[in-house]
Amino acid sequence: MDGLRIPRCYFPDYDPESLHNIELHVFVDASTQAFAAVAYFRIFDHGKVRVTLVSSKTKVAPLRELSVPRLELMSAVLGARLRRSIEENHSLKIQRTWFWSDSSTVCSWIKSDTRRYRQFVAFRVDEILSLSNVNEWQWISTRVNVADEATKWGKGPSCSMDSRWFQGPEFLYTWDGGQMSVPEDVADECETELREAYVCSHLIKQPVVAAERFSRFERMLRSVAYVHHFVESSRAPKNNESTKTVGLTSAEIQKAERTLWMIAQSEAFPEEVTILKQNLERDCARQKQVKAGSNLLKQSPFADEYGVLRVGSRAGDAQVLAYDAKFPIILPRNHRITELLLDFYHRKYGHANDETIVNEVRQRFHVPRLRVEMGPLPAVRLQPGIRPFTYTGVDLFGPYLVKVGRSVAKRWVCLFTCLTVRVIHREVVASLSTDACKKAIRRFIARRGSPIEIYSDNGTNFVGASRDLQDEINRIHTELGSTFTNAQTQWKFNPPAAPHMGGCWERMVRAVKSALRCIPEARKLDDECFVTVLTEAESMVNSRPLTFVPLETADHEALTPNHFLLLSSNGVREPEKLPTDPGMALRNSWSLVKHTLDNFWRRWLVEYLPTIIRRTKWFRDVRPLKVGDLVLVADENAQNRWLRGRIIRTIPGKDGVTRSAEVQTTSGILKRPSTRLAVLDVASSSDDQPEVDATRRGGCSPPQPIVDHVTRSKGGSVIGVDDKQNWTNNTKRQTDDKQ
């Protein structure tokens, strides 16, 4: 700094005529540490170019961190302000001004519409354009931008009078006034500063089929089919014999059905239809899911080959079900086409009760709130016509303390669950060793027969039992080996850390545990009493209904696991009147048993199987007890009896929540707390229940299923009929069925 000498005159010994073409060149630049602007005068004097420093301005970057493009923009603002200050403090008339920046982003912002950008960029660009002209801004390379020297910390400009800081960059001496081109590899815009653009569109759709003009589904279907017939006939060659048919073909009717389903779906779910149809052209990795707020999210929808939306069912491996039963067609509940379809089913089945209509409709269609994502059901859950425990899940739970003499010993329970009809069998084991597990399995097979497949978790005792079982199968001798090898039993393990895959038998473990809570902890039972209590718990679980409890008459009973073991829900059957002739008696008795079993399996296929293939968990609201609700009364003293009744009066507490109610039953009027009343989720005559939309005799929207589904409210229980065993001593626990 000691040798720094700044001349008083910008251009010593200049020609006064040269001031008529004076130019001002402002260079701007920024870094993460500072931003600066420096200005130079440029004239043509005596046939050569002369450049001199006029002024410079430098500012430290703000403490709040800003992006480099924003700092470059602030340096441009500083340069525009410096130009105004120079013009105001000089009497010289500047003929032309040029601004130079090495930021192509800033140059792009200045030359663009400021309404495209956020406020930070828009306000500063407006100020720049108010102090300069857009044509005055040009881009230069960082290498020749002299303002770059003022933005580097610890490396300032040279103080020599011969440096480019005082004499200006070299290109000003040779520049001819043309535009500087920006290289293609230099970004010209920062997308993060762009303002979000919102486009509002209003799409008006004209209905392809005016369903409101039809009163019957059959007429609408045949009208659409005739349209397809006409179109195909018009497009076909004149000599084509296949188009000369007068009546409708089955293919044309099926095509008309698909057209109606797609019309209803496109009008009710336009976004979902667009996304799922586009998935047909994408591979699995690029497929999109419906939005989180969609009403179809819980149904895991997909579009079939024709573009019809279907439910992503869990019964894809079921060989006994038709394609429409495994993957029902989704129809909107309040659409006119759906209403005509439900009316068609009502008339087809002679306006039968709700259960008949629901049962027939849901064989092909899924309508919200008609009866309604869990993983797909395994094939073993969907096998009809087999004996119980053909496919078995096994698990151990405990321990329970029992009294042996004057000491106390531990006992565990080995629970076997039939995966098809949900019947259970229990065995008591004295330890968790592999040998004890093998003995329990031998006792089970001796009483229930050899399973085809046994499923369990990855417990070390089960792994050992499976290994020893395989060795015994290979030897094929001794009575134990014969027992297993004749059945060709296969043992399968669930993956580690996946208890939800064994939900079918884990749910039964929970049910038995709840029933065993009646055992007092202070008083220990002996082995005989423990086995007795455990057997009673087994009987209670096996007597639970698998299907809906009939409401029309008491003569019909719900299907239970005991029907497949004992031919009745509780093992007690009225003696049949047999003919006196021995041959006729034998023939008729065998036919009776066979007919009874066939009826049970037919009901299993029609009533129970459709209820487990839907994803029905965790999607229903809970309401308090109301007058007119049909309920089951929980009674500890009646273990195998289902007492039904209807609420005639509710008794709310001080907080307004129903705490108890009076129930009209066949035994009279009972007053019970709400925790002892289980609401049957069936159709009600009340119109103020949004989750129960079915009507008695003629309603188009049947109620939801209650099989294996439990919910609870603050003021009362709304639970499924699969949980009777939980009422004994655990009515306050919320339960759910792991399918």
Mean per-residue pLDDT for 477-483? 36
Mean per-residue pLDDT for 277-296? 83
Burial of 90 (0-12, 13-18, 19+ CB in 10 A): middle
Residue 213 has pLDDT above 80, yes or no: yes
Element (H or E) spanning 56, and its range?
Answer: strand 48-60
Other residues' Cβ atoms within 10 Å of the Cβ of residue 641: 11
Residue 480 has pLDDT above 60, yes or no: no
As given in the structure block, the two tokens for residue 630 are 């049909």
Mean per-residue pLDDT for 662-687? 73
Element (H or E) spanning 217, and its range?
Answer: helix 217-235
Burial 33-58 (b: 16+ CB within 10 A, else e): ebbbbbbbbbbebeeeebbbbbebbb
Residue 92 has pLDDT above 80, yes or no: yes
pLDDT of residue 29: 93
Element (H or E) spanning 255, and its range?
Answer: helix 250-268
Instruction: Quote the mean pLDDT of the chain.
Output: 76
Q: What is the DSSP string of 573-617?
A: -PPP---SSHHHHHHHHHHHHHHHHHHHHHHIIIIIHHHHHS--S
pLDDT of residue 462: 60
Task: Confirm if 367 and 348 have CB atoms less than 8 A apart.
Answer: no
Ranges assigned E (strand) in 73-232: 96-101, 137-139
Distance CA 705, CA 608 (A): 10
Mean per-residue pLDDT for 131-147? 90
pLDDT of residue 691: 39
Element (H or E) spanning 563, and its range?
Answer: helix 562-566
Burial 467-506 (b: 16+ CB within 10 A, else e): eebeebbeeeeeeebebbbeeebebebeeeeeeebbbbbb
Task: Confirm if 417 and 393 have CB atoms less than 8 A apart.
Answer: yes
Residue 354 has pLDDT above 90, yes or no: no
Question: Whose CA is closest to 104, among 25, 35, 186?
Answer: 186
Task: Confirm if 605 and 613 have CB atoms less than 8 A apart.
Answer: no
Q: What is the DSSP letter of 10?
A: S
Phi/psi at 477 (5° precision): -155, 170
Band (217; pLDDT cuts 50, 70, 90): very high
Task: Confirm if 50 and 22 have CB atoms less than 8 A apart.
Answer: no
For residue 391, list its beta bridge partners. Answer: 453
Better-scored residue on pLDDT, 302 or 571: 302
Band (83; pLDDT cuts 50, 70, 90): very high
Task: Confirm if 187 and 69 have CB atoms less than 8 A apart.
Answer: no
Ranges assigned E (strand) in 384-489: 391-404, 407-418, 424-429, 453-456
Band (720; pLDDT cuts 50, 70, 90): very low
- Return the residue matching tokens 């931008």: 145
Residue 248 has pLDDT above 80, yes or no: yes
53, amino acid identity: L
Burial 252-287 (b: 16+ CB within 10 A, else e): beebbbbbbbbbbbbbbbeebbebbeebeeeeeeee
Mean per-residue pLDDT for 461-483? 47
Residue 628 has pLDDT above 60, yes or no: yes
Band (369; pLDDT cuts 50, 70, 90): confident
4-18, 249-263, 498-512, 670-684 — most confident range: 249-263
Mean per-residue pLDDT for 460-489? 49
Task: Confirm if 709 and 739 have CB atoms less than 8 A apart.
Answer: no
**Side-chain half-sphere exposure of 70, counting CA atoms within 13 A:** 19
Distance CA 503, CA 520 (A): 28
Tens of pLDDT along 630-643? Answer: 888 876 555 556 67
Residue 76 has pLDDT above 70, yes or no: yes
pLDDT of residue 168: 86
Distance CA 195, CA 118 (A): 5
Phi/psi at 391 (5° precision): -120, 120
Mean per-residue pLDDT for 302-325? 85
pLDDT of residue 688: 41
pLDDT of residue 596: 63
604, amino acid identity: W
Better-scored residue on pLDDT, 154 or 716: 154
Q: What is the 3-state secondary structure (H, E, C) of 518-542?
A: CCCCCCCEEHHHHHHHHHHHHHHHH
Band (597; pLDDT cuts 50, 70, 90): low
Band (131; pLDDT cuts 50, 70, 90): very high
Collapsed DSSP state (helix, strand, coil) of residue 135: helix
Other residues' Cβ atoms within 10 Å of the Cβ of residue 701: 23
